[in-house]
Structure 1
Amino acid sequence: MAHPSQLGFQDAASPIMEELLHFHDHTLMAVFLISTLVLYIITIMMTTKLTNTNSVDAQEIEMVWTIMPAIILIMIALPSLRILYLMDEVNDPHLTIKAIGHQWYWSYEYTNYEDLSFDSYMTPTNDLTPGQFRLLEVDNRMVVPMESPTRLLVTAEDVLHSWAVPSLGVKTDAIPGRLNQTSFIATRPGVFYGQCSEICGANHSFMPIVVEAVPLTDFENWSSSMLEA
């Protein structure tokens, strides 16, 4: 959960998000080094009036500003491609959930169970209890077992939506008539908040997402109670 005056991302709750955080820091360091080098060269040119072409051969300059950007791009592209392939892999999921976007709420169908499905609406401000977050809490949370690969099928019934939970490193577009697939593993128990990240209409900011990761025994108890209800 984000907090006031926070710098950086939320704490990672999945291996993919940990990889994204490392890649962000790696890329930020490259940007910082490039900015420092360019600022240093500009400062030298302004203070020493290094403007004549005799100081450095033009061919040498062309080699530097051609080779160095290529090396930097390779250093950024290789880990980026690795993470993209990791995000697309879905290896033997233990649970499959279908998330359907509506104007303006989410529906969840647990496809491993025959009759386990429910709607998830935002909790009105007047119904919030102490400790709950305004515009982020819902009446029915999406409960998943922790440390279990979960496959998420995302679609929409009316307009474009986007199912996004920053702590899990998941952001998938919900498109009417199409199923998009993603996966995640919650590495620790907790409640993780997200929102629709596509401008889907007047109440776009009122369709939050809440994922609750619990131990497997608690998930079995929850699913049994939901099926009985």
Structure 2
Amino acid sequence: MPVGLLGKGAIFLGLGLLGTGAAHAAGTGAPVPWQMAMQNPVTPIARELHSFHTLLLVLVTVITLFVAGLLVYCIFRFSEKANPVPSKTTHNTAIEIAWTIVPVLILVMIAIPSFRLLRNQLIVPPADITIKATGHAWYWEYEYPGDKEGKGGFKFDSNLVEEADLKPGQLRLLTTDNDVYVPVNKVVRVQVTAADVIHAFAMPSFGIKIDATPGRMNETWFKAEREGVYHGQCSELCGQRHAYMPITIHVVSEADYAKWLGEAQKKFASTDTPAGATHLADAAAK
């Protein structure tokens, strides 16, 4: 027996409810199967984005139900059967004023939290750490600038781990060979640019997404309030391997971050050494 329109609707509704349940059960730092909602927020900006999204969803639902109800009312109230003698009304001043003022009030209701959110996104608070992310075709390069205490001063490339090389527990298309590490509850400024074409640095659980444009330095920020591993991707169609530019950020304790920083300085220091510099140093020592 063929499935009717109502049957198909019931099937899609059931799948949607299952998907929503799965999304609420997980979805922090990475997508999950059947996920429909956004990933769980772990930064103040991400929580604000979710609240704004909920406000818009409520407004859209109320407006949709109101318009649908109004259409149904008009279909029956002003049908030929109910009005054998058509009305000759050409305008209604009260209705015309209402349909002008009400949309303005709705836009004001949307604009206030929207501008507040935009301001919080664009104004970077005093940063504890600065990281530079450069998009390449098709991988990310990260740089930790050196500070007065001698920390940082290195950079490294972060490439996708191909499916054949994945270890148990690693996520397909989201795992990188060199990950970014930041301490929990610290303000991290991220300077974003590109070396070739336009990319986009996006991390859903952090609520950030910003273009990486050649010749231009954009910046964003986040303050992760929960330790864990968080995944993002390039979100700008940038070429053949656009889908293979993941971003992996570990949010760890300050002690673990200091330990990683010391190890990373030794691991990646050689990548910044100019060709021939070692031989010159040896010659000078002799």
The TM tier, using the shorter chain, reads over 0.9
Structure 2 distance, partners of 1:189, 1:24, is: 25
Q: 1:67 aligns with which of 96, 101, 113?
A: 101
Matches within 5 A, 1:77-156: 77-112=111-146, 113-156=151-194
State the partner residue of 2:40.
11
Q: With the length of structure 1 as denominator, give the TM-score of the two structures.
A: 0.96
Structure 2 distance, partners of 1:214, 1:56, is: 68
SS of match in other structure, 1:91: coil
State the partner residue of 2:264.
226
| Largest Rg, 1 or 2 | 2
1:160 aligned onto 2:198: yes
Q: 1:29 aligns with which of 45, 58, 69?
A: 58
State the partner residue of 1:186.
224
Identity of aligned residues (%): 41
> By percentage of residues, which structure has more helix?
2
Partner AA of 1:100 in structure 2 = T
Partner AA of 1:6 in structure 2 = Q
Number of matched pairs: 229
Which stretch has the larger CA shift, 212-221 or 45-54? Answer: 45-54
Q: How big is the shift at 1:115?
A: 2.9
- Unpaired runs of 5+ residues, structure 1, are none
Structure 1 distance, partners of 2:112, 2:88, is: 38
Are the aligned partners of 2:156 and 2:178 in contact in 1 as well (CA < 8 Å)? yes
Structure 1 distance, partners of 2:248, 2:226, is: 15
CA RMSD after TM alignment: 1.6
SS of match in other structure, 1:42: helix
- Unpaired runs of 5+ residues, structure 2, are 1-29, 268-286
Partner AA of 1:89 in structure 2 = I
Q: List per-residue Cα deviations over 1:55-95 (Å, max 9, x = no partner).
A: 99610110110111011000000000000000011111000
Q: List per-residue Cα deviations over 1:28-66 (Å, max 9, x = no partner).
A: 100111111100110001122268658996101101101
State the partner residue of 1:214.
252
